Every structure is written in structure tokens, then in C-alpha cells.
Amino acid sequence: MATKIADGLERAFAMQGFAAPSVEDLRDAAGVSLRTLYKYAPSRDLMIRMALEHRHQRYLGHVFGDQNRSSGQSLDETLDRVANWMQTEASHGCLFHAAVASAPDDQKLRQLLEAHKSEVSQRAAVSAGCDISPNDVMVIIEGLTQAWSLSQDAALTSAKRLARLAEAQSA
């Protein structure tokens, strides 16, 4: 039941933003009664966190595979998977950044953003099997996700070029 609710909340926030959906909209998106929604997420803040945690797991599965493997995926393949996510799931940008932008003083949201970005960049760096720092990987992936709405395939091409330069410098 929690997964169904989290999935509905994630979709609602991704489509409508964090301010627009009413509790009734969120209930409808989750496909449960108001009582059940509040049982699993007793406040709007918890609904947002639940949606983001669900999004994080889906993103890891999409980018690194269902087993969330930690090695054997080239950085180019990771960037291809990030671009595919942007095309199919997040054409308007990162939901984590949008959440923090909607509540810039919310430290728990900021911590979720930092944890999400850190885990993604760490996994991508380890998976690539080279000496690129996780911070460099994060900047490359963030550049791709932020530029996606403006340049799509050109953003992917540039991200791959930057990854190759970083790999060459780390060798």
C-alpha cells in the first residue's frame, strides 16, 4: 500500500509541482481514502518526503539497473540512462531541486537532495571503474539534467565529452 501511495504522490508532485495539488488531489493520485493517505503520510511534508524517497529508488533502478549494481557500467552508459530518464520521466528537471526550491528553508528536503545526488554520483563513479571523482561525476550529471530541457541530445553529447575529458585526466 505504501508503494502505491508513494507512486501516486510522486506523479502528482511531478505533474503539478509542490504547491498546486490539494490534499484531495493527492488522495486521488494515490488512489486511496483520505484516512489511508494520512495513515501513511500524516502531513503534506511527509507526503513530499515519501514521494521523493520513492522517486530516488525508481531513479536508482532506472539508471543503475534493477539490482542497483555498483560496478561494470561505463559512465557513457550511465549518462545514456540519465538522458533516457530525463526524456521519459523528468523533462522539466529534477524533482528534488524543485522540492527544495519550493521550500528553501526546509533542511530535511535539502538533506534528501544532498543524499540523492551523493548516492547517484558515488555509484556512477564506482560503476565506471575509473578514477573520476564523485564530485566531477555529479557536476557532469547535474549539467546534463539541467541542460536537458534546453538542448536534449546536445546536452548528452556534451556530458559524454566532458566525461571522456575527466577520464583522460584521471588516468
What's residue 67's pLDDT?
A: 52
What is the rounded CA–CA span in Å between residue 171 and residue 169? Answer: 6
Q: Which residues of 139-161 are buried (b: 16+ CB within 10 A; e: fewer)?
A: ebbbebbebbeeeeeebbebbbe
What is the rounded CA–CA span in Å between residue 21 and residue 44? Answer: 10
Cβ atoms of residues 32 and 1 within 8 Å: yes
What's residue 115's pLDDT?
A: 97
Question: Among all chains, which residue has been given the C-alpha cell 585526466?
Answer: 169
What is the rounded CA–CA span in Å between residue 97 and residue 72? Answer: 29
What is the rounded CA–CA span in Å between residue 148 and residue 130? Answer: 25
Sequence-ordered alpha helix ranges (H) in the chain: 2-16, 23-30, 34-40, 44-64, 75-88, 95-102, 107-128, 134-151, 153-170
What's residue 56's pLDDT?
A: 97
Which domain, by its residues, includes 163? 2-170
Helix, strand, or coil (residue 104): coil
Q: What is the CATH number of the domain that holds 54?
A: 1.10.357.10
Q: One digit per residue, pLDDT tens: the chain, 171 residues? A: 999 999 999 999 999 999 999 999 999 999 999 999 999 999 999 999 999 999 999 999 999 985 545 557 889 999 999 999 999 998 778 999 999 999 999 999 999 999 999 999 999 999 888 788 999 999 999 999 999 989 999 999 999 999 999 888 876
Instruction: State pTM to two decimals.
Output: 0.90
- Counted domains in the chain: 1
